A = this chain, B = another copy of it.
Amino acid sequence: MKLIIDAMGGDHAPVEIIKGAVQVLNSEPKLELIFTGPEEVLKNELLKYTYDIERVEIVDATEVITMDEHPVAAIKHKRNSSMVVGLELLKSKRGDAFITAGSTGATLAGALLRVGRIKGIQRPGLAPILPNKNKGVVLIDCGANMDCKPVNLAQFAIMGSIYAEHILDVTAPRVGLASVGTEDEKGNELSKASFQLIKEQNAVNFVGNIEGRDIFDKVDVVVADGFSGNLILKSVEGMGGYIFDSLKKALTSSLLTKLGALLMKSALYKMKKTLDYTTYGGAPLLGIDGIIIKAHGSTKAKALEYTIAQAMRMVDADIVNVIRSNITAEETTD
């Protein structure tokens, strides 16, 4: 299995990206890596580590797409950027998956322009996994599509379900539609129209409308338009950070609480870990004709390791072809 990694994407590239990638390389004998980025820089960075050089390739890319560039313009003009070069390698099947911690907008634009969609998929969906009381929950779409049509949400439901089944290892994943109440008739125009379409799909175990709070318990997949989905994702992240800040303050407010905190250090650490969304890796762009994972911009070595593990599971599950055959099946059924 060969993964292509944008060595220049994200806030901590290339140092943390190379570090995390080499770590996994040394524990996964079947793994091969292609790094895209300025050859000299990457070579120097790699000199820090001991690893099987036979399984690592550098493909030179002299440019870097920054976070503040216009995504489409950047993809069109920076043909020698680590991102575009990586996407082209994926397109030409030189690798099985592409990982980048670079700009989300550029990743999305690049995926569409350089790799393209699976035939029959109208819009790809960004699908991160959030921790919940079960094995985690796939939230699709989280920002790739601002204004959606019902057919987009219906396809997100199929793709999210396939992804949850193979990556979270859930049989017949429960798919919920993000709405403002659990009754069938609740929602806005888009969600109400999408409800009917999702319900008609045989491949989806649709449990109906769910509210924001049900994410953490009742479903394995949440389907939403990219605007709402992004607000859910970021609000939940924000709330998590806010509570942990408050908890930290409470734990360090007096000598007594500091002592108490000491006694439960390992339990609190374990709890924090179960709530850590980075352990699930990055957000795949489902519906693209190739495996592309957008890792968080703040990705460090450990988070990249999780993302590589996620990419390997996706390659093993042959996710793209499973989606392809399900989309064709739904179209034939209709």
Contact = CB atoms under 8 A, between A and B. Distances in A.
A271 interface: yes
A321 interface: no
A189 interface: yes
B231 A178 contact: yes
Contact of A235 (B191, B215, B217, B251): B215
Interface string A240-282: 1111011101110110110111111001101100110000000
B239 A240 contact: yes
Copies in the complex: 2
Interface residues of A, number: 60
A226 B264 contact: no
A253 B263 CA distance: 12
B271 A249 contact: yes
A48 interface: no
A194 interface: no
Interface stretch (A28-36, A54-62, A206-214, A290-298): A206-214
A211 B234 CA distance: 7
A263 B243 CA distance: 20
Most buried by B among A180, A214, A261, A271: A180
Given A180-B143, A241-B216, A250 B267 contact: yes
A168 to B, nearest CB: 17
A231 B230 contact: no
A215 B259 CA distance: 32
Given A180-B143, A189-B146, A231-B178, A238 B216 contact: yes
B146 A187 contact: yes
Given A212-B235, A235-B213, A237-B213, A188 B147 contact: yes
Interface in A37-57: none
A269 to B, nearest CB: 9
Contact of A216 (B143, B242, B264, B274): B242
A23 to B, nearest CB: 28
A233 interface: yes
A132 interface: yes
Contact of A260 (B217, B250, B261): B261
A73 to B, nearest CB: 13
A326 interface: no
A78 to B, nearest CB: 20
Contacts of A80: none
Contact of A250 (B215, B257, B259, B271): B271
Contacts of A188: 146-147, 225, 227
A313 interface: no
A217 to B, nearest CB: 8
B238 A267 contact: no
A238 B212 contact: yes
B232 A213 contact: no
B247 A270 contact: no
Contacts of A250: 264, 267-268, 270-271
Q: Nearest 10 pairs between A and B by C-beta? A: A212-B234, A213-B238, A260-B263, A212-B235, A260-B264, A257-B264, A250-B271, A146-B188, A260-B260, A216-B242
